[in-house]
Amino acid sequence: MASAALRAWSSIMVVVVVLAVGARWPSRCRAEFTVVVPDTSAAALVDAPQTGFSDRARTDPAEQRAVQEVMAATGNGWVWGIPDVCRGRWHGIECVPDRHDVYHVVSLAFGALSDDTAFPACDAATATLSPSVLALPHLRSLFFYRCFTGNPQPIAALLGRLGPAFRSLVLRQNGHVGPIPAELGNLRALRVLDLHGNQLTSAIPATLQSLSHLQMLDLSYNRLAGPVPHFKFQRLSVLDLSHNAVQGPVPASLGQCRSLLKIDLSQNRLEGTIPDTLGDLSELMLLDLSHNALSGPIPAALSRLSSLRSLILSDNRMQFTTVPGDFFSGLKALTTLVLSGMGLSGTIPESIGELSELRVLRLDNNQFTGVIPATFRRLERASELRVDGNRLVGPIPFGKEMLWRLGKKLRVGGNEGMCYDTKQEGLEGVVSLAGVADCDSVRSRTTQHLVWINGTVGGRPRSVDRVATSAASGSRYPGAARVGSGFVFLSLHLAWFAAFVL
């Protein structure tokens, strides 16, 4: 009979891992959420699964034999010795009685999910899916985890003929090959479709759009291509198509899936702009569109996502895209913001400093100019902050307490005009400041350049204004060649000098 762990995968659906505040983040800052979806029992059955305490349990004979054949096909031939699969506590088998005390099988689960779940293991080299599964008319849930890895096979099209009570199909990391069967679109009562971590190819079948009750769709870590279908599921909570090769735009129709909590389309080949309609998803908690080929601008509509906790758009090359200063004012729930490697320009939005819940902030490898906003001092819960690889200037605005707290998780290198105040006591040995100049030396170098430029260039006195004007206009006055590439260095430091020194 089923354990509590099994019921988490059957009548109640659990999506992988709860988002843990302050947990150790992977390198890509992926976040996953727990979503609980209630199930309803068939009218002919009692409301809750039984746990085998009744000595009167009598499994329907046809279902008894079907379960034995399904289990034997996975390498669990010992099942032939069980006189009644719904009597006792057999892990991986869940039953409910009808009103005449005849028990029906509603859930089967196979595979060693963890040390705490004793589902029947599979013989990975020989395991197959028996057609006898179709002889279980009350079946609601089917779960296979790493069962066919030594004998890769397509997902059986016969699964599309499961009964009207069927709710959850989970086939994770089984090595399934080939396309997703179009027949799965016949499972009109399906709530959960999880095909994560296989070797599935071809396009996502359009027939899946018929699954109007779908609440969780996970097709991640496969080899799927083609466009993202124009899903309009009103009950969908989780959509994960990450780590595939799907192409084309992000469908604007996703804005009609108003129950969405998580969208992960990362690591694909998506193009075009992010649709404004995503701003209508008022319950959305995670949006990950990273590692695609999306272009700017970042739609202002996203600033309406007041429930959003993780916004990850990194590695979409949006050169020359700027982010309005007040963009993040409405995103107060954000704990993770990752905008790395996007080619973003302009100044860093000051409204980021208003995100009091922010833990992870990555703005590295862009083209941001100006200074780190002083509002960043308010990020008291931040555990990681990256602004390295930009064109920032001026002093680092953090006190020694924040510098020590962030430690190696503060990255500010690769900004030639940035410095820190060595007059602050207690900064010796702060790892994040390695390679960062002290502000006194930067101020000294800038002053020297001003004196040099304001003195004699090419034997003639030139003012800074005349040098700048001439360089901008491209005129070739005597001595201009001697200024050369040093003018670019000077112009960057003049901006900082005006803000910090004068």
| Measured torsion, CA atoms of residues 180, 185, 186, 191, in degrees rounded to the nearest 10 | 100
Are the C-beta atoms of residues 254 and 279 closer than 8 Å to each other? no
pLDDT score recorded for residue 446: 52
- Residue 407, classed as helix, strand or coil, is helix
pLDDT score recorded for residue 138: 95
pLDDT score recorded for residue 118: 67
Helices (H) and strands (E) in the chain, counts: 7, 27
Q: How far apart are CA 357 and CA 380, in angstroms?
A: 8
Name 314's Cβ contacts closer than 8 Å, sequence gap at least 6.
28, 290, 291, 338, 339, 340, 341, 342, 362
One-letter identity of residue 147:
C
Name 451's Cβ contacts closer than 8 Å, sequence gap at least 6.
none
C-alpha closest to that of 165 among 133, 188, 197: 188
β-pair partners for 178: 200
Please give the structure tokens belonging to residue 130: 């028996």
Q: How far apart are CA 142 and CA 70, in angstroms?
A: 11
| Class of the CATH domain delimited by 319-440 | alpha beta
What is the DSSP code string of 342-400?
S--EEEPPGGGGG-TT--EEE--SSEEEE---GGGGG-TT-SEEE--SSEEEEE----H
Q: Give per-residue pLDDT as tens, 284-300.
A: 999 999 999 999 999 99
Q: Do domains 167-181+188-289 and 319-440 have the same CATH topology?
A: yes
Residues of the chain below pLDDT 50: 1-53, 449-450, 456-502
Domain spans of the chain, in order of start: 57-151, 167-181+188-289, 319-440
Total length of the chain: 502
- Residue 329, classed as helix, strand or coil, is helix
Are the C-beta atoms of residues 282 and 260 closer than 8 Å to each other? no
Name 448's Cβ contacts closer than 8 Å, sequence gap at least 6.
none
Q: Looking at the domain that runs over 167-181+188-289, which CATH code has it been given? A: 3.80.10.10
Q: How far apart are CA 289 and CA 270, in angstroms?
A: 9
Are the C-beta atoms of residues 213 and 237 closer than 8 Å to each other? no
pLDDT score recorded for residue 81: 87
What is the DSSP code string of 219-271?
--SS--BSBPP----SS--EEE--SS--EEPPPGGGGG-TT--EEE--SSEEE
pLDDT score recorded for residue 387: 96
